[in-house]
Structure 1
Amino acid sequence: MGGLYLLDYGAGNVRSLVNAVNQLGYEMNWVNEPSDILKADKLIFPGVGAFGSAIEALNTKHYADPLREYIRSGKPFMGICVGLQSLFEGSEESPDVSGLGIIPGVVRRFDTMDKAVPHMGWNEVFLLKNSLQSKNEENLDKNDDVLHYGIKQRTAYYFVHSYAVPYNSQLKEWTLAITQYGTEKFVSVVQKDNIFCTQFHPEKSGYSGLRILRAFLETNGAAVQLTQKTINIIRSLDDVTNNKKDRFRKRVIACLDVRTNDEGDLVVTKGDQYDVRDRTTTANDNNHINNNNGLSNIVNVAGQVRNLGKPVDLAKRYFDEGADEITFLNITSFRNSPLTDLPMLEILRRTSETVFVPLTIGGGIRDIIDPDGKFHSALEVAGEYFRSGADKVSIGSDAVYATEKYLKNGKKCNGDTAIETIAHAYGSQAVVISVDPKRVYVKSPTDTNHHCLETSIPGPNGESYCWYQCTVKGGREAHDIDVYQLVNACEAMGAGEILLNCINRDGTSSGFDIELIRDVKKSVRIPVIASSGAGNEEHFVEVFRETGVEAALAAGIFHRREVPIESVKRVLKGRGVLIRDSDTVL
């Protein structure tokens, strides 16, 4: 039969990879049984989640031996993320599990002393192999697209992983490129003979990533043969990294609060813990939406749900404008039955067809019972989102309930919370905790049992201390849990990232709550996304410089084009903050 095949062992979002391949004009066949592997002319093996789970799935489905045989045959093979790691002998993530053993070495966990883990975001690759005709990076020419599978020096690609293969001299014949994170250098691109693998996700790396996929799809093995004939230089590590600091980028994330309006359509609006209904009729361009460019004839009418745009159209607009990630927060539709909310699932599917950066979905990620009495676990709900195009799920209210359970259990994990079950199946990088806290002022830290901060913003009665109380149900219900307790508990349960909101700042355009963000950033070793309060470009500069967070998120100011994403990134770059340059053409 032949053709291009996808080896999907059942974990994570492979829809985006299929969409990326389709976008490039190719069709993908699916490996459904072991014999399909050997039918392939080209094979792509993507993966997310735990090393052990991936290898176990390969063995259980009897894919491991045919996969080894396929690779030995010399036909083109591409591995992505865990698809790369599985080729090695083993991993610290699953010490008792043997890898495929094709490449010597063991996958190691990142050191958390100087950086957040998972390594989640955009980072540069550094080519270690050069061709005869371009012996330095300044002379890389068009032919090197073929030689290096479209990989470009000084270009950032999207990574999301906690484990990697440290680079050493024994791996130089296997290593096309490395990446530095903190002080650690790891193998980010493997290339030898017919084998080509990336630790990063090309399908989530914008047009730069699509070019890599296209190079693999179009070469028919020619790039491999040409590379082996012409590349003769292994570059010095110090030459490409200066052995000083990494080139990890700060992320700018666009958030879309989605809910059903009075006509039954899903629209982008403001969060439902606030007033989402217009008080006056508006007819200015900032409130109009257009199918082509984001602006139209839609007029917000007094009393109706505020309509700031169509979710799929806005998501595509943000991708084109350079957003590094897009988050959907479904604030009403999943209240009772997430798995029957077909319109929102369709939004994910349609968005992933044209948006090639990470997508996060939040709203209703929990154990549920349908109106007909059927039980669905949080893991099942998350799995449906992943299959529909999401890369990460955001857990809000359920994280508060899980923290209460964790604390009541003597700070011990039970293994049955949504956080734990999803992280175990899909990896910690797939679980984002969305925190909705509000300030509670006290005169002295002795007036509360909660973790307090001395604040420069005094309370209504001159109080100089505060703690941050966590809420559920979109901020409508407060619980006796503080942010410090929540983020530490969720990290212990396996969460991979914190989306840190602040009810007091949301919608104010007065800037991020630097005191809160700085305190949380110091409290955890996982990445933190700052949210709530952005009103201009300088607020983004401030939050990155003052807190060290990995990402910053905004919603309304982007929807209404009060502060364009391009403008934010231009100012950040001008102020010396490392960001990903927008790549707008394939």
Structure 2
Amino acid sequence: MISLLDYGAGNVRSVRNAIANLGFALTDIRRPADILAADYLIFPGVGAFGAAMQRLEALGYSEPLKAYLAADRPFLGICIGLQCLFEGSEESPGVPGLGLIPGQVRRFSDPRLAVPHMGWNGLRPQREGALLAGLEQQRFYFVHSYHAEATAENAAWTLAETDYGDAFISAVQRGRVAAVQFHPEKSGAAGLEVLRRFLSGEAVQVSAAASSTDANAASLRHASASVEPGHAELHHAGPHHAEPTQLAKRVIACLDVRSNDAGDLVVTKGDQYDVRESGGEVRNLGKPVELARRYYEEGADEITFLNITAFRDFPLSDQPMLEVLRRTSENVFVPLTIGGGIRAFTDAEGHAYSALDVAGEYFRSGADKISIGSEAVAIVEAVRARGGGDGHSAIEQIARVYGNQAVVISVDPRRVYVRSPEATERPVIETAIPGPNGERFCWFQCTVKGGREGRDVDAVELARVCEQLGAGEILLNSIDRDGSGSGFDLELISAVRAAVGIPVIASSGAGEPAHFSEVFARTGAEAALAAGIFHRREVPIAAVKARMRVDRIAVRD
């Protein structure tokens, strides 16, 4: 019996779908006694360490879970499911973990790196283990701000490490208990293979003798590294690969989804945000579930759905879009983002629903991240008026429950040209692209309602404030470049990327593979997104990645 310990945070549907895709049946842990009745136990999770541990305590799960682990029974932790095995975390001081593995979970602290660590990175095995054998050349999907620290005390547990600045523990195993920091259910074929090895028993049938030998070997490596600093790189590199792992730049396929005049959901793409053909029909570039599956198979690193109809009356009644997510997540095993209509609403009967309620419905339907657009502008305006956040904004609520990695801010700026910096109170850049009257300065004005209405908010200010409120990523569009095919707005992206410490997704303007290499090389953006050129098959995703390889930019195969 394979059992899932779902404590109520994040997208567990993807784990369920991955297990079903592999042909295994799954039961849910509904009460503490179910834990000890399980044959195989999976503990996935996202969000905060403290919230996860407190939830386990409140449900009465902690003690039977500790007993299950102490008995060396088959267990696979995912993300928070790995971190909770340790003694504690800087994320939640004073909250004890399960304490199975010695050591602490630390926040990434290198100021040169975007946090969260988000995207596809590799593994460097520290010892032999069936769970990851032969997968050393693959990349897996990570999304986390905190990491388990490798020490001599936990060397017997460390199965693999990954580099992001310093090395961190990305997989542990001792006997039949294993855990991974990455998300196998979001890591494509390689991730599914890791799940299959665990569920089939291949990766947990470890003899006591083999486990002891691995533990002794690992302890000796760590002891050697600590005694002989000159040989520390040998420990760091592990027994198989001396090269550090690299975080790949992400290529994201975006699907603008809306209902056509017949009420069907279609993928569309506008000409400067106009999505209708000359005859008046909504431009139809395909069905969202089918296109998402195609992009997954062609190598997209993520899929983003932007619900541009937005169903402004009440998004929780938006059953067609929820169904798109449910069906897509059955066969697409990379991260899914959904945007459109994620804000507080009151329905026709007077029932109030928070943005957290709306986001929760999307997460339960298969989304990994939600994207907040026009609402973010209103939030920043309110923060500016108050002088700070109050804990009640959609960004703060969702980040608090699901983690900042689950909140993407979608910004739709346009250039406003001025003759001198003194002509505006907004921060300006000196641009290499002069304005219509030769202006040499501009600022980037945020817009709402699909670019139809400008606000007195600068894109750099919005990105900074949203990061402070808890957002984990910025999706940076450009009204000036949208649909142009002339390349990304490098000045806009560079300005925002330099202002924040969270990942930035470049969007709008891609017309050829070289544009992707250019934006990565010149701005430091962590990801780049395109829509129309992929929908119309003008530029295949494979061609984008081939060009990136030629230009020596790390990319997932």
Is 1:539 paired with 2:550?
A: no
Q: Is contact 1:90-1:98 (8 Å) kept?
A: yes
Structure 2, unaligned runs of 5 or more: 222-233
Following superposition, the deviation at residue 233 of structure 1 comes to: 4.5
- CA apart distance, 1:149: 4.3
Match of 1:427 among 385, 390, 403: 403
Q: Which amino acid aligns with 1:329?
A: L
| Residue of structure 1 equivalent to 2:266 | 267
| 2:82 counterpart SS class | helix
User: Taking structure 1 as reference, are residues 270 and 18 closer, same or farther at Cα in structure 2, changes over 3 Å only?
Assistant: same
* Structure 2 residue 527 is matched with structure 1 residue 571: no
Give the counterpart letter for 2:321 in structure 1: M
**Is structure 2 residue 238 aligned with structure 1 residue 256?**
no
1:334 alignment partner in structure 2: 311
**Is it true that 1:186 corresponds to 2:162 in the alignment?**
no
The answer to whether 1:407 aligns with 2:384 is yes
C-alpha distance in structure 1 between counterparts of 2:243 and 2:69, whole Å = 37
Distance in 2 between the 1:22 and 1:274 partners? 39
Q: For residues 252 and 222 of structure 1, what CA distance do their matches in structure 2 show? A: 35
CA RMSD, 1 decimal: 1.6
Specify the code of the residue in structure 2 equivalent to 1:253.
Answer: I
Rounded to whole Å, the distance in 2 between the matches of 1:50 and 1:304 is 46
1:172 and 2:171 correspond: no
Q: Give 3-state SS (helix, strand or coil) of 1:566's partner.
A: helix
Match of 1:468 among 444, 469, 480: 444
Q: Deviations over 1:427-448 (max 9, x none)?
A: 0000000000000000101100
Q: Does 1:203 align with 2:209?
A: no
> What letter matches 2:178 in structure 1?
F
Equivalence for 1:215: 197
1:169 offset after TM fit, Å? 2.2
Unaligned runs of 5+ in 1: 131-143, 280-301, 582-586
User: Is the 1:394–1:431 Cα contact (8 Å) retained in structure 2?
Assistant: yes
Q: Secondary structure at the match of 1:504?
A: coil
Structure 2 match to 1:491 = 467
Equivalent residues of 1:397, 1:472 under 8 A apart: yes
- The separation in 2 between residues aligned to 1:321 and 1:250, in whole angstroms, is 16
- CA–CA distance in 2 between the matches of 1:251 and 1:37? 38
Correspondence list, 1:344-383, <5 A: 344-383=321-360
Aligned-partner Cα distance in 2 for 1:180–1:74: 29
Quote the offset at 1:224 in angstroms.
2.5
Distance 2:29 2:236 in 1: 42
1:508 aligns with 2:484: yes
| AA matched with 2:160 | A
Aligned residue for 2:34, secondary structure, equals helix
Residue 242 of structure 1: CA displacement? 8.4
Aligned residue in 1 for 2:33: 35
Aligned residues: 540
1:458 to 419, 422, 434: 434
1:105 aligns with 2:103: yes
C-alpha displacement at 1:170, in angstroms? 2.0
Match for 1:389: what amino acid? G
CA distance in 2, matches of 1:405, 1:562: 42
Give 1:74 deviation, angstroms.
2.0
Q: Distance in 2 between matches of 1:227 and 1:413?
A: 54
- The change in CA–CA distance for 1:66 and 1:272 in structure 2 (over 3 A counts) is farther
Which of 317, 325, 330 in structure 1 is aligned with 2:294?
317
Report if aligned partners of 2:338, 2:371 keep a CA contact under 8 Å in 1: yes
Task: Give 2:466's aligned amino acid.
Answer: C
Q: In 2, Cα distance between the equivalents of 1:73 and 1:167?
A: 24
Name the aligned partner's letter for residue 391 of structure 1.
D
Deviations along 1:79-134, one digit per CA (max 9) or x if unpaired, are 0000010111111000021111111111100014120000000001100103xxxx
Q: Specify which of 553, 562, 575 is matched with residue 538 of structure 2.
A: 562
Identity over aligned residues, as a percent? 59
- 1:230 deviation in Å? 6.5
Q: Work out the CA distance in 2 between the residues paired with 1:517 and 1:221.
A: 44
Would you say the 8 A contact 1:150–1:212 is kept in 2?
no
Shift of 1:221: 6.5
C-alpha displacement at 1:407, in angstroms?
1.1
> 1:222/1:421 Cα in 2 relative to 1: closer, same or farther (>3 Å)?
closer
- Whichever residue aligns with residue 192 of structure 1, its letter is R
Q: Distance in 1 between matches of 2:124 and 2:311?
A: 43
Cα displacement (A) at 1:171: 1.7
The answer to whether the 8 Å contact 1:251/1:551 transfers is yes
Instruction: Give 1:392 deviation, angstroms.
Output: 0.2
8 Å CA contact 1:76–1:220 kept in 2: the answer is no
Residue 96 of structure 1 is matched in structure 2 by 94
Equivalents in 2 of 1:303, 1:253: separation in Å?
29
Distance 1:550 1:335, change over 3 A: same
2:363 matched to which residue of 1? 386
Give the C-alpha shift of residue 188 in structure 1. 0.3
Q: Normalising by structure 2, what TM-score?
A: 0.94
C-alpha change, 1:250 and 1:80, in structure 2 (3 Å) is same
* TM-score where L is the length of structure 1: 0.90
Report SS of the residue matched to 2:156: coil
Change in CA separation of 1:221 and 1:488 when aligned onto 2, cut-off 3 Å: closer
CA distance in 1, matches of 2:382, 2:134: 47
The one-letter amino acid of 2:99's match is G
